[in-house]
Chains A and B, each alone.
Chain A
């Protein structure tokens, strides 16, 4: 009886996958309207896969002739969808370009030295030195500017991840799984969102994390130390994550080389961390929020097509006692995200990579194990998974726009060219990073940077007030002149009536408005 139930379950798996994903696809395309909460049905798939999964012996295959072409095509696809927004506007995407441009230029301006003492605390907290020392070297050697790094080097690095991802996945599970993982990465909405939000350090951190896992599985401890150190000097969340992976790995495998790699890492990052130790410790000991990224609920929707296969991949590894670093990586990020421990929204970007690897394994174990008609059905199933995954990414690619128009950025450049060198520029928190990056002036913004003097409440009353006297009193706290920059975009809020008085002069109005406050009576 048990055998019959197992056989029926196994046989019903493939048709159910095809049917379910076809319905989902029709729903996504607006052709069909499914009931609310239909996405929960997807979690039936892993349960039905279990009987077939128990019979899969090995996933490794090293004879996969098209691998090179598929990988190159995946790289070009990934790069293409990342460069596509540049064809519409040369203004970078995301909220962070101003922060990166400002910090990179701080480092350029300090050349031939590396700045440390003169850096503001928020710069030290937010930006480890690695990326900026690298951008210094590229600036003096190749002549690349901060904008070149943001507009060209960053998309290239985002697309480059397909290679370390393939390397890790192939090492553990074979070429076919590696190629599937790379394609899933290329079309992942989560990874594309990380790109459109310009998470430069995150993308580099992911590259090092994957290469560190690769080195760990290849037992190259020197390489592990290098990549581990890279995470420490480029992006600390991945450093923390890999520390946890390494601890779990060491407990299971008890390899002495891991300890040596950890010691090597400590030595390599010492000069980077010693001057900032108190700041890093302060950040670690305060309550860290979720970080700016979408939540786990949104994640389950945008990764709906490959999430059940990740569960299948995890079950496969557990059944086969494959306690490798990817399983630890998946388990640790899952715990951080699901239980909302710290920085949990940003950890979704890392979790997505683990889920992509396991999903590729799950797809290989279920959809590509059979021959004949089931093989054809399996390939159709994969195409449906890919089509469902690519839809939100393509939509995002067409919808995504820079947060500033060229005219609004032009107004900031007007300030750069015309404002006095010692002038302050006041901006809302939405505009402030752009003004910081492009105006080359000190920027006053609520709760941002090091120059503001007033409390949060005082800022709120200033922003909402229509009274010129209140605005004058607020700005008199600063050395004059003060420029006020306001971009006319949705979601930006600053009451402008207060600046329509004798105290202020409207000096620019095209896409964004700029007022000048000369100070005095």
Chain B
């Protein structure tokens, strides 16, 4: 029982203090830019910053209540946003769409 409790605390702390920052660190630095030491430092630092700021802002604007569901959702969304951005950055569809849009804009600019 105690082992289960410790595991819950450990995984919970990891989820709040590491996961969102780790995802966001890839927004600021690509895989080749920094090694895992710097990424670890950034991940923890970013998580400690982003989680309370997001929760506080949501509570301030939407009066969001701090519950297990709301905090888990916030941390998950905080993780998903950068992951989605990274996938979008890499996706060929987005690349094509962006380059297409750029060429249309540059053509209109020339006209």
Q: List the A side residues contacting B11 at CB < 8 Å.
A: 142
Is A242 an interface residue when CB atoms closer than 8 A count as contact? no
With contact pairs A141-B75, A143-B9, A233-B52 given, residues A271 and B16 touching in the complex (Cβ less than 8 Å):
no
Interface of chain A, helix or strand or loop or mixed?
helix
Is A95 an interface residue when CB atoms closer than 8 A count as contact? no
Inter-chain contact B13/A208, CB cutoff 8 Å: no
With contact pairs A134-B48, A138-B16, A204-B48 given, residues A229 and B41 touching in the complex (Cβ less than 8 Å):
no
Q: List the B side residues contacting A111 at CB < 8 Å.
A: 66-67
Q: How far is the CA of A114 from the CA of B72 in the complex (A)?
A: 17
Inter-chain contact A226/B68, CB cutoff 8 Å: no
Q: In the complex, identify which listed stretch (B54-62, B83-91, B96-104) lies at the interface while the others stay far away.
A: B54-62
Inter-chain contact A153/B13, CB cutoff 8 Å: yes
* A-B pairs with beta carbons under 8 Å apart, 7 shown: A133-B52, A134-B48, A134-B52, A140-B71, A164-B45, A222-B27, A229-B49
Contact of A142 among B8, B28, B42, B46 (CB under 8 A): B8
- Interface set, chain A 211-253, CB cutoff 8 A to B: 211, 214-215, 218, 220, 222-223, 226-227, 229-230, 233
Question: Which residue of A is nearest B36, CB measured?
Answer: A68
Residues of A within 8 A of B (CB): 67-68, 71, 111-114, 129-131, 133-134, 136-138, 140-144, 148, 153, 160, 163-164, 166-167, 170, 204, 207-208, 211, 214-215, 218, 220, 222-223, 226-227, 229-230, 233, 268, 271-272
Q: List the B side residues contacting A220 at CB < 8 Å.
A: 28-29
Inter-chain contact A163/B40, CB cutoff 8 Å: yes
Q: List the B side residues contacting A160 at CB < 8 Å.
A: 41, 44
Fill in one digit per residue for B1-38: 1 if any A CB lies within 8 Å of its CB, else 0: 00001001111110111000000000111000000011
Contact of B48 among A114, A141, A230 (CB under 8 A): A230
Is B53 an interface residue when CB atoms closer than 8 A count as contact? yes
Question: Which residue of B is nearest A161, CB measured?
Answer: B41
> In angstroms, how far is the closest chain B Cβ from the Cβ of A430?
32
Question: Which residue of B is nearest A139, CB measured?
Answer: B66
Q: How far is the CA of A134 from the CA of B61 in the complex (A)?
A: 18
Inter-chain contact A130/B52, CB cutoff 8 Å: yes
Contact of A141 among B15, B28, B49 (CB under 8 A): B15
Known: A137-B16, A167-B42. 12 other contacts (CB 8 A): A112-B66, A112-B67, A129-B56, A133-B55, A138-B16, A140-B67, A141-B12, A144-B9, A160-B44, A163-B37, A163-B38, A227-B49
With contact pairs A129-B52, A229-B49 given, residues A142 and B12 touching in the complex (Cβ less than 8 Å):
yes
Q: List the B side residues contacting A204 at CB < 8 Å.
A: 48
> In angstroms, how far is the closest chain A Cβ from the Cβ of B81?
13
Inter-chain contact A164/B41, CB cutoff 8 Å: yes
Is B65 an interface residue when CB atoms closer than 8 A count as contact? yes
Residues of B within 8 A of A (CB): 5, 8-13, 15-17, 27-29, 37-38, 40-42, 44-46, 48-53, 55-57, 59-61, 65-68, 70-72, 75
Q: List the B side residues contacting A141 at CB < 8 Å.
A: 12, 15-16, 68, 71-72, 75
Q: List the B side residues contacting A167 at CB < 8 Å.
A: 37-38, 41-42
Contact of B46 among A68, A163, A226 (CB under 8 A): A226
Interface of chain B, helix or strand or loop or mixed?
helix
Contact of A226 among B9, B49, B66 (CB under 8 A): B49
Question: Which residue of A is nearest B61, CB measured?
Answer: A271
Question: Which residue of B is nearest A71, CB measured?
Answer: B37
Q: List the B side residues contacting A208 at CB < 8 Å.
A: 45, 48-49
Q: How far is the CA of A130 from the CA of B48 in the complex (A)?
A: 9
With contact pairs A142-B15, A163-B41, A211-B41 given, residues A268 and B53 touching in the complex (Cβ less than 8 Å):
yes
Inter-chain contact B52/A226, CB cutoff 8 Å: no
Inter-chain contact A134/B41, CB cutoff 8 Å: no
Q: List the B side residues contacting A68 at CB < 8 Å.
A: 37
Q: How far is the CA of A271 from the CA of B58 in the complex (A)?
A: 10
Q: List the B side residues contacting A170 at CB < 8 Å.
A: 38
Q: List the A side residues contacting B8 at CB < 8 Å.
A: 142-143
With contact pairs A164-B45, A226-B46 given, residues A142 and B52 touching in the complex (Cβ less than 8 Å):
no
Q: How far is the CA of A141 from the CA of B44 in the complex (A)?
A: 17
Inter-chain contact A230/B49, CB cutoff 8 Å: yes
Q: How far is the CA of A222 from the CA of B61 in the complex (A)?
A: 22
Q: List the B side residues contacting A71 at CB < 8 Å.
A: 37
Q: List the A side residues contacting B49 at CB < 8 Å.
A: 208, 226-227, 229-230
Question: Which residue of B is nearest A72, CB measured?
Answer: B37
